[in-house]
Amino acid sequence: MAIAYLDTFSGISGDMTVGAFLDLGMPLDGLERGLAALGVDGFRLEVGERVRSGIRATKLTVDLGRPDPGVFVPAAPPRASGALRTDGRHGPHRPYRRIRALLDRAALPARVRDRAQRVFRALAVAEGKVHGVSPDEVVFHEVGAVDAIVDVVGTALCLEHFGVDEVLVSPLPLGSGFVRTQHGVMPVPAPATLELLTGFPVRPDDGATELVTPTGAAIVAALARPGAAGDVIPRAVGYGAGERELADRPNLLRVILGERAPTRAASPAAMAGAGPGLLRETMVVIEANVDDMNPEILPVAVEALLAAGARDVTLAPVTMKKGRPGTLLQIIAEPAERERIAGVLLRETSTIGVRTYAVERLVLPREEQRVTTRFGEMRVKVVTLPDGSRRAAPEHEDCLRAARKHDVPLAQVQAEAMLAAHVLISAAADASRDAGER
């Protein structure tokens, strides 16, 4: 089964996605033929090369100006009335229902049409929620333009060409600042973008500009799920270039094309609905029994395992053969980290072998927040319960550090952190309730 892994270290947009697949070897004439089936005229594709931080990448540009001789212009087959036309600038505003009809009548392979429809459906639902209208009433502005339609259908065509059955995506940088749209000035990430990325791992405030466009977010929401590069055995790598030069990173989307790693049952952060308010994670357990080493070394081994990326480490007393007392070391880790963490366990303890097996766990959605107390700023973990209520727990290490610094009892610092977290949660609940009433 072919897998495409979207490595979004600089975010994602529609043109970057298609550009990366062109870089992987998607034939331009195959893309041209597929797009011609849309019956949309008045644009041309320009494919060029960019070098960002020494990395060569492919740049796709959908030019809506007057076509130049020798540059691809889709030869539109006979079109039904109402087919799209560009006005030479950025295209007219288009209702979602019109784009849906356009895709329904296009002579596209079934899976290509289905994927494109899913992308625009996801966007219509998100925009409708943000603007308080039904999906069918949504009118696309920037995303309804010809170039965005080309990006979405082009992505679906590329996935079909490479026989991709599964798309994985890394945590996405959300960027920061503001962007000007047809609706006015919007915060970054745009509301619809953030709505689309609900349930996906993100990196807030990573980047000084918009890094994930609405089109890119819709592609992710409709076609991908969270994953890690360790899920894929790479067979080819392509880079798609964005339009701008960024000061803090190369503006590229890296797409890794390959197949599922045989040791993986699912991605380490593969989260799917597991009931009201719950997320499902596939993890691995790494464990070993030890009965022939100095027990004073065990806490050091635990620290080394946590530093290596273990999610959790537990020690439990066990009775070994011949009645000898021993210790069970049990580690929960992401599947992609299995071999590396097992190596740390073998290095730091006297065991000569480890056991590993896959497990699934159901977890509450959680996020890290920061609160300010008179003992300083501290991190708190905020979880959302199935009934929608929230609770918080202060980070132990932060509280311990503050207690030692101010020479006060740890319980006092924890109590103040809990109080500050309660105030934070209450304020967020009030704001959410007020927004719902409006």
Question: Would 267 be classed as within a structural domain?
Answer: no
Query: For 119-143, what is the mean pLDDT?
Result: 81
Per-residue confidence band for 338, with pLDDT thresholds at 50, 70 and 90: confident
What is the pLDDT at residue 41?
A: 79
Using left for φ > 0, alpha for ψ between -120 and 50, and beta otherwise, residue 420 falls in alpha
**For the chain, what is the mean pLDDT?**
83
List, in order, residues 6 or more apart from 342 with CB less than 8 Å away: 286, 354, 356
Q: Which carries the bigger pLDDT value, residue 189 or residue 69?
A: 189
What is the pLDDT at residue 277?
A: 60
Query: For 322-340, what is the mean pLDDT?
Result: 87
Core vs surface per residue 343-381: b (16+ CB within 10 A) or e: ebbeebbebeebebeeeeeeeebeeeeebebebeebbbe
Query: For 114-135, what is the mean pLDDT?
Result: 88
- Same domain? For 203 and 286 the reply is no
Q: Is 92's pLDDT higher than 60?
A: no
Alpha-carbon separation of residue 123 from 59, 89, 118, 174 (angstroms): 24, 22, 9, 17
What is the pLDDT at residue 432?
A: 63
Q: Encode pLDDT of 27-72 as tens digits.
A: 999 999 999 999 887 788 999 999 999 999 999 998 876 543 333 3
Least confident window among 58-62, 180-184, 198-202: 180-184
Q: Which carries the bigger pLDDT value, residue 341 or residue 87?
A: 341
Question: Would 399 be classed as within a structural domain?
Answer: yes
Per-residue confidence band for 236, with pLDDT thresholds at 50, 70 and 90: very high
Q: Alpha-carbon distance 359 to 61, whole Å?
A: 45
Q: Is 369's pLDDT higher than 80?
A: yes
Beta bridge partners of 326: 318
Q: Is 248's pLDDT higher than 50?
A: yes
- Same domain? For 148 and 187 the reply is yes
- Same domain? For 182 and 299 the reply is no
- Same domain? For 116 and 189 the reply is yes
Alpha-carbon separation of residue 364 from 260, 369, 383 (angstroms): 27, 16, 6
DSSP conformation class of 59 = E
SS3 43: coil
Query: For 243-267, what is the mean pLDDT?
Result: 79
List, in order, residues 6 or more apart from 237 with CB less than 8 Å away: 24, 254, 255, 256, 257
Per DSSP, the residues of 121-170 read: HHHHHHHHHHHTS-GGG-EESGGGSHHHHHHHHHHHHHHHHTTEEEEEEP
Question: Would 346 be classed as within a structural domain?
Answer: yes
- Same domain? For 247 and 350 the reply is no
Q: Alpha-carbon distance 199 to 169, whole Å?
A: 12
Q: Alpha-carbon distance 258 to 235, whole Å?
A: 5
- Same domain? For 75 and 137 the reply is yes
Per-residue confidence band for 79, with pLDDT thresholds at 50, 70 and 90: very low
Alpha-carbon separation of residue 33 from 44, 110, 390 (angstroms): 13, 15, 52
Nearest to 330 by CA among 294, 288, 283, 362: 288
Per-residue confidence band for 143, with pLDDT thresholds at 50, 70 and 90: very low
- Same domain? For 56 and 176 the reply is yes
SS3 172: strand
Which structural domain, as residue segments, surrounds residue 376? 366-437
- Same domain? For 159 and 34 the reply is yes
What is the pLDDT at residue 262?
A: 55
Domain boundary among 319, 338, 363: 363
What is the pLDDT at residue 1?
A: 64
Q: List the structure tokens of 319.
A: 């009775």
Per-residue confidence band for 407, with pLDDT thresholds at 50, 70 and 90: very high
What is the pLDDT at residue 263?
A: 40
Q: Is 134's pLDDT higher than 90?
A: no
CATH of residue 394: 3.10.20
Domain boundary among 198, 228, 260: 260
CATH of residue 359: 3.30.70.1380
Q: Is 75's pLDDT higher than 80?
A: no
Question: Would 411 be classed as within a structural domain?
Answer: yes
- Same domain? For 37 and 124 the reply is yes
Q: Is 183's pLDDT higher than 80?
A: no
Domain boundary among 347, 363, 379: 363
Alpha-carbon separation of residue 280 from 58, 267, 357 (angstroms): 37, 11, 17
**Residue 165's CB: how many other CB atoms inside 10 A?**
13
Would you call the peptide bond into 27 cis, given omega within 30 degrees of 0 as the criterion? no
Q: Is 221's pLDDT higher than 60?
A: yes
What is the pLDDT at residue 84?
A: 33
What is the pLDDT at residue 436?
A: 60
- Same domain? For 286 and 148 the reply is no
Question: Would 268 be classed as within a structural domain?
Answer: no
Domain count, the chain: 3
Question: Would 290 be classed as within a structural domain?
Answer: yes
What is the pLDDT at residue 144?
A: 42
Alpha-carbon separation of residue 44 from 18, 75, 173 (angstroms): 15, 11, 31
- Same domain? For 382 and 398 the reply is yes
Q: Which of 218-232, 371-385, 400-414 has the highest mean pLDDT?
A: 400-414
Question: Would 274 be classed as within a structural domain?
Answer: no
Angle at 196 between CA 190 and CA 197, to 5 degrees: 90
- Same domain? For 302 and 406 the reply is no
Per-residue confidence band for 273, with pLDDT thresholds at 50, 70 and 90: very low
Per-residue confidence band for 360, with pLDDT thresholds at 50, 70 and 90: confident
What is the pLDDT at residue 266?
A: 38
Question: Would 65 be classed as within a structural domain?
Answer: yes
Q: Quote the percentage of the chain above a pLDDT of 70.
A: 86
